[in-house]
Amino acid sequence: MEFFLAILSAVPTTLLVTFVSFALGAVIALPLVAGRRTRFAIVRLLSKGVIDILRGVPPVLFVFILFFGVGSDLIRWEPIPAAIVGLGLISAGHLAEIYRGGLMAVHAGQFEASAALGLTRTATFSRVVGPQAFRVVIPGMATWLISLLKESSIVSTIGVAEIMFVTNQSARSTGEGLLPFIIAAAVYIALGTPFAAFSRWLEKKLSFGRRA
Amino acid sequence: MELLNDWWTWSPRLLEGLWVSVQVTALALIIGIPLGLCLAFLSGARSRVVRWLTILYVEIGRGMPALVMLQMVYFGLPEIGVVLDSYIATVVALALTTSAYTSEIIRAGLRAVPEGELEAADALGLKRGDVVRFILIPQGFRIALPTLMGFAILILQVSSLAFTLGLPELLSQAYSIGASTFRYLEVLTLAGILYLVITVPGGWLVENFDKRLSRHLT
Amino acid sequence: MTEQQQPPASAETILRLRDIRKVYGDHVALGDVSLDVKRGEVLAIIGPSGSGKSTLLRCVNQLEVPDSGTLEVVGSNIDFATRVSAADLLGLRRQVGMVFQSFNLFPHMSVLRNVSFPQERVLGRSRDEADKVSKELLERVGLADKMQNFPQTCSGGQQQRVAIARALALEPQIMLFDEPTSAIDPELGLEVLSVMRQLADAGMTMVVVTHEIHFAAEVADRLVVMADGLIIEEGLPRELIASPSTARAKQFLSAITDR
């Protein structure tokens, strides 16, 4: 029983790391996807490069580089900020691709019509294209959020006292191997299922009034 | 430059580690994907019990973090008498995770096989078993292939978590070099580059494949 | 030029549908339809969409299962009120060949393989035997040079001809055609129609659901008009098209001939 309580007490930390990284990534992804779509080939290439790196490096390695690598030489990080920045940047990479998918799904005609009507680029994106792309990216973003929830377990390796960290501690201190991990798995699944259900609900709500 | 020199010195160990990462990834896929195919079929079984058990397995396999799976297999199973070394434990854990995820990927692929092809096969008088074996599975796999390849790349990244089990894969080697030289940034960056050398071209291959496949799937 | 003649009265009836009924919720797809087809006969079925003509065709080889009625095909007797055994089903499908509107070739097999593979699995022929038959058939439909190609590299008309060869390779007694040219450019469709014509001349029993009035008029021995799940008219093609007796048939025919 104590395991359960100990693990539960770590849930807020897990949720904190998950949501803040997600928010950070959602914001950073915007300039990244903009970079992917500019006229300037160099910026496009650089953006693609950054996105590929953020998506191609194992998240735990990335967090390590920030915490041990950058941390020791340049700045002194606390575990949680390092975790959030690390996961946030990785999220930015994935979300940029999701945003890109959403923008590509918007009919080219929308951009043309907006231009013909004399709308500024900002207005086009915020009032015409954005809302339409939003509908397409929601499922993708929800899926990523759930993945991020699970991915947050890796920050246990740099000492953040979230679910995985506490589970490990419990397992080691008592020598009771299996139960803590089973509880941890159950907690992650219990946290993830409402998200999945919420995302399906959101999808349905947004496809309301969609003319084929 | 001194950095390149150091990279050159560290490379052999890191490459050994990379080789271990690649091995466990490959084994996990070789075991996990066929298992995923079985699960994909079991999820459509006639018996409700079988269907529910399959769904349970898949939801648990996909719902729990890979790190939890790895640690559960290595640190947790000994409690019930199953003691595995870090290599085998990694392969088992990754294979289980792979089977859960790929069962969904393959299911989607099988569902996407155009109904007309299956009807034509039925109309020709082919037995159910033959339709499944020669039409449904090959076509379903072809459709699922880009996603499966993307997943394979992901598993390579996930294998880095096995360092918590003490497996001497790439991250583990990089970390231990870092710990002895305190040049964490330099060696971890090299490790990152080594991962990218596989994952980035791999990602391009998948994108390419996806484009080519959607052309062929009239 | 084909002369329009009825098959000799002594020709056996090889397909007999009786009181075929299929209902989807409130919608009556087929309302107690009955139809006979004699050996060697070419029957064309026309009608507006939703008339049930495709559904009726698909009931013959059980791609649709009617709610009630009976089916006699080349000796197999099936009563839809009772369940059909898997063995009976396979036996039935081996005697009945079908060509689909969307061709439905197997994209992961070459043209040759598409035609040979079913022979190997369904008739138990060896690879060599099957290939020999396939090559002959593909030559007959004019596609000998496309044998090693994959379906995606063939035009619609070519794909459909391969589909015809594939069905013929199993030596069926009846060939069913479900709007075979509806998904093909008119020009390419001519190739397909000419193959079908050759087949008819060679004496194959054919049931063709189509929009191609000219084909019906020139090649079919008998024309059936369906609407709203029922057969509303039957008769000799040229006469029926020239002067339909029911108002509904008249309405439909004028829509497609007076364009």
Residues of A in contact with B163 (CB under 8 A): 60
**How is residue C228 written in tokens?**
């709203």
Asked whether residue B171 carries a pLDDT value surpassing 90, the answer given is: yes
Of C71, C44, C22, the C-alpha closest to C208 is: C44
In angstroms, rounded to a whole number, what is the distance separating the alpha carbons of residues B162 and B160?
5
Put simply, the chain C residues between 141 and 160 with a CB less than 8 A from any chain B CB are 152
In angstroms, rounded to a whole number, what is the distance separating the alpha carbons of residues C54 and C30?
10
Residues of B in contact with C103 (CB under 8 A): 116
A187-A193-A197 Cα angle (round to 5): 160
Domains delineated in chain C: 13-257 (3.40.50.300)
Residue identified by tokens 């002194």 is A76
In angstroms, rounded to a whole number, what is the distance separating the alpha carbons of residues B4 and B93?
36
- At C200, the pLDDT band (50, 70, 90 cuts) reads very high
The CATH number of the domain where B125 resides is what? 1.10.3720.10
Asked whether residue C12 carries a pLDDT value surpassing 90, the answer given is: no
Residues of A in contact with B191 (CB under 8 A): 61
Q: Please judge whether C152 and B216 are an interchain contact, meaning their C-beta atoms are less than 8 angstroms apart.
A: yes
Q: Counting Cβ atoms within 10 Å, is residue A15 exposed (0-12), middle (13-18) or buried (19+)?
A: middle
Q: Counting Cβ atoms within 10 Å, is residue C108 exposed (0-12), middle (13-18) or buried (19+)?
A: middle
Count of the separate structural domains present in chain B: 1
- Pinpoint the alpha helices (H) of chain C: 53-60, 86-95, 111-118, 127-140, 156-168, 186-201, 213-219, 237-242, 247-257
In angstroms, rounded to a whole number, what is the distance separating the alpha carbons of residues A158 and A78?
9
Neighbours of chain B (3+ CB pairs under 8 A): A, C
| Smallest CA–CA distance from B150 into chain A, residue | A56
pTM as predicted: 0.84
The answer to whether A11 contacts chain B (CB < 8 Å) is no
pLDDT at A114: 81
In angstroms, rounded to a whole number, what is the distance separating the alpha carbons of residues A160 and A66?
14
Q: From the CB coordinates, do chains A and B have 3 or more pairs under 8 Å?
A: yes
Q: What is the mean pLDDT of each run of 10 residues along chain A (212 residues)?
A: 83 94 95 89 93 95 89 75 94 93 80 81 77 81 92 93 91 81 93 84 67 42
Q: Please judge whether B63 and A192 are an interchain contact, meaning their C-beta atoms are less than 8 angstroms apart.
A: yes
Closest Cα in chain A, distance from residue B39 (Å): 20
**How is residue B67 written in tokens?**
């790190």
Tens-digit pLDDT profile for residues B64-84: 999 999 999 999 898 888 889
Tell whether ipTM is more than 0.90.
Answer: no
Domains delineated in chain A: 2-206 (1.10.3720.10)
Tens-digit pLDDT profile for residues A146-181: 999 999 999 999 999 999 999 988 888 877 778 899
In angstroms, rounded to a whole number, what is the distance separating the alpha carbons of residues A137 and A163?
29
pLDDT at C6: 52
Closest Cα in chain B, distance from residue C176 (Å): 10
The answer to whether B12 contacts chain C (CB < 8 Å) is no
Tens-digit pLDDT profile for residues C29-78: 888 899 999 999 999 999 888 888 999 999 888 898 888 888 888 777 88
The answer to whether A65 contacts chain B (CB < 8 Å) is yes
Contact B141, B102 (CB under 8 A): no
Closest Cα in chain C, distance from residue B136 (Å): 10
Residues of B in contact with A69 (CB under 8 A): 178, 184-186, 188-189
Q: Please judge whether B60 and A185 are an interchain contact, meaning their C-beta atoms are less than 8 angstroms apart.
A: yes
- At C2, the pLDDT band (50, 70, 90 cuts) reads very low
Tens-digit pLDDT profile for residues A174-200: 777 788 999 999 999 999 988 888 877
State how beta strands C76-79 and C96-99 pair. Answer: unpaired
The answer to whether B112 contacts chain C (CB < 8 Å) is no
Question: Taking the CB of residue C235, how many other CB atoms lie within 10 A of it?
Answer: 16
Q: From the CB coordinates, do chains C and A have 3 or more pairs under 8 Å?
A: no
Residues of B in contact with A188 (CB under 8 A): 63-65, 68
What range does the domain containing B39 cover? 2-216
Nearest by CB: A153 against B68, B163, B192:
B68
Contacts of A173 (CB under 8 A, 6+ apart): none
Average pLDDT over residues B14-41: 96
- At C149, the pLDDT band (50, 70, 90 cuts) reads very high
In angstroms, rounded to a whole number, what is the distance separating the alpha carbons of residues B92 and B165?
13
Please give the span between the terminal C-alpha atoms of chain A, in angstroms, as a whole number.
53
